[in-house]
Structure 1
Amino acid sequence: MEMGNRFRTRNPDNAHVHFLPFSVVKMVRFIYQPNSFNISSIERTIADYIGIISSKYPYWNRSRGADHFMLSCHDWGPQASKSHPYLYSNSIRVLCNANTSEGFHPLKDVSLPEINLKTDASLAGIIGGLSVSRRTTLAFFAGGMHGPIRPILLQHWKNKGDDRDMQVHEYLPKGADYYGMMRASRFCLCPSGYEVASPRVVEAIYMECVPVIISDGYELPFGDVLNWKSFSVAVAVAEIPELKAILSRISGRQYIRMWRRVRAVRRHFVVNSPPERFDVFHMILHSVWLRRLNFRVRHQLD
């Protein structure tokens, strides 16, 4: 937002929303006691910050925080938002871990796509995949065994040497290339770990691999404008044993339509610097704007 004036105003009276620029990641780095799993210092810092802006400026109090938004992709972002009751219940929370079973409210909060930024490589090197005819693997996954869902997936499908269609690994085979295997697969499995969000969803979209969402309670990003059913597959945890059968039932014609839609929506998940129209930056602000429309601020204070 600081790269230009299109989305920013220096006159707070003209602002539609107010950004709360605290970083949970940086607070974990600088004030959290390592390995304590006690985030009270983070909660106190956020509460103090809101206390300062609510006493110094009129904007928080007039809406009780409803026209303010925070953003966090850290696992503790949702918990940190509980440091102030209005931040949790009223403000727009932009969160990667958009778990409806843990208090995420789709009408008020924004689901932020989890993106693993490759600072040492060009974006062009991790975008693009093979044509449908060259995708010889039905489904691919490689990842650590953590959280409640991945052990179930690995138990049923890990290293099935007699089934070349299902390439499911806890550790990549020696010499295998992670992105290369995604590019050569029709479907990329995206099971939740300890939290509902996974960078594999965006990685799959980058590689033009139809994502298979295996999660409970995950509110997918940008669902206000994107029809996820048209370019992804949702599989319940209980259906993991039937995973191959579910994916095999998708006809070739239906798959091509989904693959083309993955390619079409990819631009909405790309990080550009400076931002470009329709990219992830614009999608996030659009999602914030839609939630802001649900609340009318009283400009005349009592």
Structure 2
Amino acid sequence: MQQETSRSMKKTKKSSFHAKMKLFHSRKSRYKFFKCAIFLSICLYFLICRHKPAAISTTTISRSEPSLALMAENNLDSSALGSFNGMKIYVYDLPAKFNRKWLRGNNERCSNHLFAAEVAIHRALMSSEVRTLEPRQADLFFVPVYVSCNFSEVNGFPAIGHARSLIAAAIQHVSSMFPFWNRSRGSDHVFVASHDFGSCFHTMEDRAKSEGVPEFLRNSIILQTFGVRGKHPCQEVEHVVVPPYVSPESVSATLKSSPVTGRRDIFAFFRGKMEVHPKNVSGQFYSKRVRTAILRRYGNDGRFYLRRHRFAGYQSEIARAKFCLCPLGWAPWSPRLVESVALGCVPVIIADGIRLPFPAAVPWADISLTVAEADVDGLGGVLERVAATNLTAIQRNLRDPRVRKALLFGDTVSEGDATWQVLVALSGKLGRSHKRLKRVTDGIF
């Protein structure tokens, strides 16, 4: 009986052991199967993500993401992006009539004249590391409309009478095709207004003041060449003052033959429109008669090299001059500001109340002189005193290549150049980013 019980117990233990082993192998098989399933799922996920097209990618001009090679080519590195607070910008791909159409044929002036910052900034942004191809990741939206390439057949000057209607049509396009304009009423959208009175889109100040900034742009960010201290209707909008466009290639070519340390045999230089008898145009006098006053007072003064007619190679004259006069025209700013700095000639700014571009990067007080419009009769004495005292120090400050670079736009973004300075300024306006405001609202920090 005991033997039988013992055999029964052994049999039971043996059966229990086999059952446990069977369960162990069953669990081990399920575990292996589960591991394989997870591994295959992960592989499948990455395979799908890798080939998934970017949302709304058909709205971009370039189909390729900016790469590390491109960053190196543009003198950028990943740490440089910290300068822009992680900002991302989406560039709308508008129909050709808003931009590319103006570049067709032999219209080289469109991308090289003094208002061409609108073209240069667009080109540089297209290959910039801050650009995103996914609009839902964007902090800001760039709307590339070229309004300054419509040259007058009468005088050859840019005619911007169509600007307001062209920009309004562009806004109608992006607001009907995408949700981003309507959700922020355009407050995170960026435009360029690189002409006389900027966001007012008029060449005559009285018209510009009376009409002001178009209603459809009043919530947006405007990159404009116009800027003055104090109140003015044409800067009653969120804006950044940018320099007028001067071709970096032309500056480089001039510096090869006339380096900044070369001989400067011209004491004071100006070439440009100067009226012998001021003409009354729409109730205003050109340059507020300042240029006429300069011509009358110093036209026969041997120290002053004043010329009224155009000369294609006039940059070579700037490179020979110690002081370059930069009086206002219709608007206070002038391309002479950039050309003088780039070519080592001390700019003499005669434009009351002007706000100058990128003051954080360009030490204007150390590289230029300012003379009040009412004081041009004493201009000669001012320049003589500076020449006898601190001209050498000012010229030394002008030779800093970083100063020159900050005012010149290139086809790509290079650290410290004019488009770089624009991005730094825009990164200070990220409080307008709908994406970031939404994160704060949702409690995501």
Give the deviation of 1:58 after TM superposition.
3.1
Match of 2:414 in 1: 276
Paired AA for residue 214 in structure 1: I
1:141–1:167 contact (8 Å) kept in structure 2: yes
Distance, in Å, in 2 between the alignment partners of 1:83 and 1:167 is: 39
Aligned amino acid, residue 302 of structure 2: R
For the aligned residue pairs, the C-alpha RMSD in angstroms reads 3.4
Counterpart residue identity of residue 250, structure 1: V
Alignment-mate amino acid for residue 273 of structure 1: D
Aligned match of 2:145: 22
SS in 2 for 1:147: helix
Aligned-pair CA distance for 1:57: 2.8
Q: Equivalents in 2 of 1:43, 1:271: separation in Å?
A: 25
Partner-residue secondary structure (3-state), 2:243: coil
Q: Does 1:168 align with 2:306?
A: yes
Specify which structure has the bigger relative contact order, considering alpha-carbon pairs within 8 angstroms and separated by 6 or more residues: 1
Matches within 5 A, 1:153-164: 153-158=294-299, 160=300, 163-164=301-302
Larger helix fraction of residues? 2
Aligned counterparts of 2:254 and 2:351: Cα–Cα separation in 1:
25
Q: For structure 1, which segment, 73-82 or 187-196, has the greater mean C-alpha deviation from structure 2 after superposition?
A: 73-82
Shift of 1:267: 1.6
**Deviation per CA, 1:240-298, whole angstroms, max 9, x where unpaired?**
111111122225562222112222111212333333221122122222323x1454643
Amino acid at match of 2:243: P
Per the TM alignment, residue 299 of structure 1 is displaced from its structure 2 partner at its CA by: 2.4
Amino acid across the alignment from 2:167: I
Distance between the aligned counterparts of 1:231 and 1:106, measured in 2? 29
Task: Give the deviation of 1:47 after TM superposition.
Answer: 2.0
Q: Is the 8 A contact 1:152 1:240 kept in 2?
A: yes
- Cα distance in 2 for residues equivalent to 1:135 and 1:38: 38
Instruction: Please state if 1:10 is matched with 2:10.
Output: no
Question: Equivalent residue of 1:109, what SS?
Answer: strand
SS at match of 1:247: helix
Q: Give the aligned partner of residue 65 of structure 1.
A: 186
Decide whether aligned partners of structure 1 residues 224 and 64 sit closer, same or farther in structure 2, where only a CA change above 3 A counts: farther
Secondary structure at the aligned position of 1:24 is classed as coil
- Contact 1:47 1:83 survives alignment (8 Å): no
Match of 2:252 in 1: 124
Which runs of 5 or more structure 1 residues have no equivalent in the other structure?
none
Moved more, 95-104 or 143-152: 95-104
TM-score under structure 1 normalisation? 0.80
Residue of structure 2 aligned with 1:113, choices 243, 249, 267: 243
Identity of aligned residues (%): 28
- Show the counterpart of 1:259: 395
Q: 1:221 to 1:138 in 2, by over 3 A?
A: same
Partners of 2:267 and 2:322 within 8 A in 1: yes
Structure 1 partner of 2:10: none
Runs of 5+ unmatched residues, structure 2: 1-123, 203-211, 275-285
Counterpart Cα distance in 2 of 1:83 and 1:104? 6
Q: What is the TM-score of this pair, normalised by structure 2?
A: 0.56
For residues 83 and 51 of structure 1, the distance between their equivalents in structure 2, rounded to whole angstroms, comes to 17
